[in-house]
Amino acid sequence: MSLKSKTALVTGSTSGIGLAIAKGFAGQGANVVLNGFGKPDEIERTRAGIETEYGVRAHYSGADMTKPAEIEAMVREAQETFGSVDILVNNAGIQFVSPIEEFPGEKWEQIIAINLSSAFYAMKAAIPGMKAKGWGRIINTASAHSLVASPYKSAYVAAKHGIAGLTKTAALELAPHKITVNCISPGYVWTPLVEAQIPDTMKARGLTKEQVMEDVFLKAQPTKEFVTVDQVAGLAVFLCSDAASQMTGANLTMDGGWTAQ
């Protein structure tokens, strides 16, 4: 399989799942557009590192995923830089945990904007170019929470259920144009973000590191193992292959059996 001459835009890709997906595409020869927050020097190191390691071109956009105009400009900039956006991965996301009656309104709006609306605006901007080429792949990072709920995550669960519905609708609209639209729904993935939560959780619950991982993070995953970012990236790359050309509108779980219960 080769993605040479293709360009992949991955939102939320300066670390974690998004970065692994971007590197997965670069490994297949695709040029990549990174997006996300972080320290400028670290982002530049990451961008340059991808070019050096994989022999592709890598571009960075600092577009704010809460601002539709910036999202549209990011897609346009990618098209102008590389000639097209062939693969779009809507991966940007944030989390906030609170009972509904205490959930800050601004946090609700921010999570819906970044986790759901940004995918709509990016798709809206990228689809015309994909239609013109007669080929495209759109992959939305959902979550096990696109299928099941957990308490205190109302905005996140609502957004991820929304991503699953948006995926299906777009898949139906784009099926005649050789553009597939799917979402990947991981369970708990081992990322720096998850790792950083361990000390606070240990302190708050009076647990050891092992107890936090087993009884908090992995409680819902029957395999009792974290999903890795490379496993998610591997599935994203597969969805861009010829073998996956008839897969569209699917919600693909990678959650250690969480949603099978």
pTM for this model (two decimals): 0.96
What are the pLDDT digits (tens) for 85-122? 999 999 999 999 999 999 999 999 999 999 999 999 99
> What count of other Cβ atoms lies within 10 Å of the Cβ of residue 228?
16
Beta strands, E only, 169-245: 179-186
Q: What is the sign, positive or negative, of the torsion defined by CA atoms of 152, 196, 74, 122?
A: negative
Q: What percent of the chain has pLDDT over 90?
A: 92
Contact assessment for residue 125 and residue 72, using Cβ atoms and an 8 Å cutoff: yes
| 156 given a catalytic annotation | yes
Please give the backbone phi and psi of residue 107, each rounded to the nearest 5 degrees, phi first. Answer: -70, -40
Among the listed residues 54, 60, 121, 156, the single catalytic one is 156
- What is the rounded CA–CA span in Å between residue 260 and residue 80? 44
Tell me the domains of the chain and their CATH numbers: 7-188+228-260 (3.40.50.720), 190-226 (no CATH)
pLDDT above 90 for 201: no
The residue count of the chain comes to 261
What are the pLDDT digits (tens) for 149-161? 999 999 999 999 9
Mean of pLDDT values over 9-20: 98
Residue 192: band (very low, low, confident or very high) from pLDDT cuts 50, 70, 90: confident
Residue closest to 32 by CA, chosen among 71, 117, 89: 89
Could you say which DSSP state residue 151 is in? T
